[in-house]
């Protein structure tokens, strides 16, 4: 490991960035060095601009593009102490798109297609608690509090702990799962001893289920979290309560689900019905 990379990692660790963020930022700075074939501390705004244009030409996602920007802005501002470069490293305007949401019937169909008991419980927990992938993977047996009927989410996004409600039905499912599998520490242990299941396993499981069902929707493990949030709002849960359950820092993030819920639409009047248009004759379109 080069001294420069080690300094970058130390700068991130001092500020208590998560392990995944450290990896992503190091990869972003390495991307610049590999593209320019020089040490990144010898590069400037023009080199960063060339990298950004190359990323656009290669059609990377806006998430990857902006994650690279975050890494480079941190690197120049903190590690190199060159904040004057930051105005020349702009973020890309990410297109606003609505998340994919499953209907309650589709969730039931999706869970019913899971071939194994352990995987079905895994996805049921993801949906019933509205958890992020990493939060789900790192659940411990001790995090299930049946007396208070809550699930403790330890060090979620932003390194924050929070509580999410535990439904009686999910508790029943988890008790049957524990009696069958007897997990010791991790609620969903992986193949490696002492390690939890990896996110890759869950993502591949969802891909197989979508293919098996013949769906065209882009369903990922995070789709279950989107569906949970939308169904909660449609059931009448207020926005502030949902914000706390989901662990969102900003209420605006939670408010996104107001745009994908269909309950409000179903209560709107049908304008064509109010016009009392004549019914098409039989056999005509």
Catalytic residue list: 132, 157, 222, 225, 248, 257
Distance between CA atoms of residues 198 and 190, nearest Å? 7
Q: How far is CA 173 from CA 152, 225, 270, in A?
A: 17, 19, 41
Location of structure tokens 């105005």: 87
What kind and span of H or E run contains 251? helix 251-255
CA quadruple 12, 156, 180, 209: dihedral sign: negative
φ, ψ (nearest 5 deg) of residue 122: -55, -50
Closest CA to 246 of 166, 187, 163: 163
Collapsed DSSP state (helix, strand, coil) of residue 153 = strand
Cα 243 from chain centre: 15
Q: Are 161 and 203 in contact (CB under 8 A)?
A: no
């Amino acid at each position: 490991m080069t001294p420069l990379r080690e300094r970058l990692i130390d700068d991130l660790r001092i500020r208590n960035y998560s392990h995944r963020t450290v990896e992503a930022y190091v990869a972003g700075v390495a991307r610049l060095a590999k593209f320019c074939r020089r040490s990144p501390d010898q590069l400037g705004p023009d080199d960063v601009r060339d990298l950004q244009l190359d990323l656009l030409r290669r059609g990377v996602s806006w998430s990857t593009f902006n994650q690279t920007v975050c890494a480079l802005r941190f690197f120049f501002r903190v590690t190199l102490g060159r904040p004057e470069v930051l105005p020349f490293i702009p973020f890309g305007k990410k297109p606003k798109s609505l998340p994919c949401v499953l209907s309650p019937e589709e969730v039931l169909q999706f869970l019913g297609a899971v071939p194994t008991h352990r995987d079905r419980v895994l996805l049921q927990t993801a949906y019933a608690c509205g958890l992020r992938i990493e939060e789900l993977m790192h659940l411990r047996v001790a995090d299930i509090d049946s007396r208070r009927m809550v699930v403790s989410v330890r060090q979620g996004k932003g390194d924050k702990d929070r509580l999410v409600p535990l439904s009686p039905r999910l508790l029943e499912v988890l008790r049957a799962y524990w009696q069958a599998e007897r997990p010791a520490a991790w609620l969903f242990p992986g193949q490696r001893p002492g390690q939890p299941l990896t996110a890759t396993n869950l993502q591949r499981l969802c891909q197989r289920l979508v293919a098996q069902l013949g769906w065209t929707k882009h369903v990922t493990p995070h789709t279950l979290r989107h569906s949970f949030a939308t169904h909660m709002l449609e059931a009448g849960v207020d926005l502030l309560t949902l914000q706390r359950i989901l662990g969102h820092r900003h209420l605006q993030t939670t408010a996104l689900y107001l745009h994908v819920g269909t309950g409000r639409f179903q209560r709107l009047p049908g304008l064509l019905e109010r016009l009392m248009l004549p019914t098409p004759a039989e056999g005509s379109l």
